[in-house]
Amino acid sequence: MKYMGSKSRFAKELLPIILKNRKPEQWYVEPFAGGMNLISEVSGNRIANDIHPYLIAMWKELVSGWIPPEHISKNQWYEVKNNKELYSDYYVGWVGFNCSYSGKWFDAYAGKTKTKNGSIRDYQLESIKNVKKQLPKLIDIQFSNKSYFELEIPPNSTVYCDPPYKGVRGYKDKINHDFFWDWVRGLVDDGHTVFVSEYSAPDDFECVWEKVAKSSISANGITGGSTLSVEKLFTLIKGENK
């Protein structure tokens, strides 16, 4: 699923690092699961959490067999955007993410459009096709809708965090980053293995992967267009937390 800040294009590079020492029965947990693009490529015990209630409601309904509409008109999109309380949460979730440009929550309508070369691109049909590919991989996931720090994480889990990046505009749900890093330190002290995607991290965290990539969001807080940013993956080894 297209989702702001998605790491889908880096999955083949990130997951071998994140899952390297994971044991067969060990839980894999994503407190900021979003578009489910990484967790859908992981097997075994999994928990997908996100603070966005409409997003989790949408995923639950899709996994249960709900078939989304093939097309939402621009008028329908605005109707749902302005009257969310009149519609089911999962339907609002579908319209808000999959019928919006770049998967940004009700940011701008995305339907059929003519490209620069004259061809017609159907963004909603692309969303349906992408989600259909994901769904068989999400069947056994435990979905959760909580703040990341309220999430109950099974002992000795592998935890991957892809939080709203610091200094980047466009995220609906922002976090206190100092509190977040302290929370991660607490997880490591409790015996969890934790990895975090960000542009930067406190000095006690080690960068274990990085890559220069084009993105519609950047470390300078600008959204839109195409900019170069250095994506990084950080971890903290137990005993190094001081």
What pLDDT does 241 receive? 60
Alpha-carbon distances, residue 32 vs 2, 84, 160, 164 (angstroms): 15, 23, 8, 9
- DSSP letter for 93, please: H
What is the rounded distance in angstroms from the CA atom of residue 105 to the CA atom of residue 222?
Answer: 17
Domain boundaries, the chain: 1-51+146-242, 52-141
Place of tokens 């609906």: 172
Scored b (16 or more CB within 10 A) or e, 123-157 reads bbeebbebbeebeeebeebebbbeebeebebeeeb
Give the mean pLDDT of the chain. Answer: 92
pLDDT, tens digit (0-9, with 9 covering 90-100), for 44-86: 999 999 999 999 999 999 999 999 999 999 999 999 999 999 9
138 and 40 Cβ atoms separated by less than 8 Å: yes
pLDDT, tens digit (0-9, with 9 covering 90-100), for 148-199: 999 999 999 999 999 999 876 544 557 999 999 999 999 999 999 999 999 9
What pTM does this model have? 0.91
Q: Where are the beta strands (DSSP E) in the chain?
A: 28-30, 46-49, 112-114, 120-122, 142-144, 158-161, 193-198, 206-217, 223-235
Q: Select the CATH number that applies to the domain covering 1-51+146-242 from these four: 3.90.420.10, 3.90.1150.10, 3.90.226.10, 3.40.50.150.
A: 3.40.50.150
Alpha-carbon distances, residue 108 vs 79, 97, 101 (angstroms): 13, 10, 5
What is the rounded distance in angstroms from the CA atom of residue 235 to the CA atom of residue 209?
Answer: 10
pLDDT (average), residues 220-231: 65
